[in-house]
Amino acid sequence: MKIDVSDFNRLAVTLAEVGPRTFKAAAMVTEKAARDIERDAKAFAPVDTGNLRASIGTDIDVSAASISATIGATADYAAYVEYGTSTMAPRAHLGPAYDRHVGTWMTALDRLMSGVLG
């Protein structure tokens, strides 16, 4: 009995190449979504002095095994503006920006995975 392992070898090479390419593409898709959310959050933020808008930023962290993006504001009163208080109505900016882009981000990731998994 003879076993031809050339197909398995080609599969191993393909999987070794697809993994890093897919990871890099997922990182790019995530970064684009995060930057789009940041841009819209700044556009939606109420402006009095401009401090809140200027404090909105994005931190992208891509390590060997994970991809994360944190979008937020460093102004100490940002949460009060976003969620409101007992005396002030909310003026959400981060939430609506996230809502606007999360669907596109998830669709892009789904397409990316569909291409990998077939």
Tens digits of per-residue pLDDT, 32-72?
A: 999 999 999 999 999 999 999 999 999 999 887 788 899 99
Q: Scan for tokens 């940041």, then name that residue.
A: 38
pLDDT score for 1: 43
Q: What are phi and psi of 105, to 5 degrees?
A: -65, -45
pLDDT score for 107: 92
pTM: 0.82
Q: Give the H/E segment covering residue 61.
A: strand 56-62
Give the mean model confidence (pLDDT) for residues 96-100.
95
Tens digits of per-residue pLDDT, 5-30?
A: 566 566 566 656 667 888 888 899 99
Inter-residue contact 8 to 38 (CB < 8 Å): no
- β-bridge pairing 67-73 and 56-62: antiparallel
- Which has the closest alpha carbon to 105: 113, 116, 117? 113
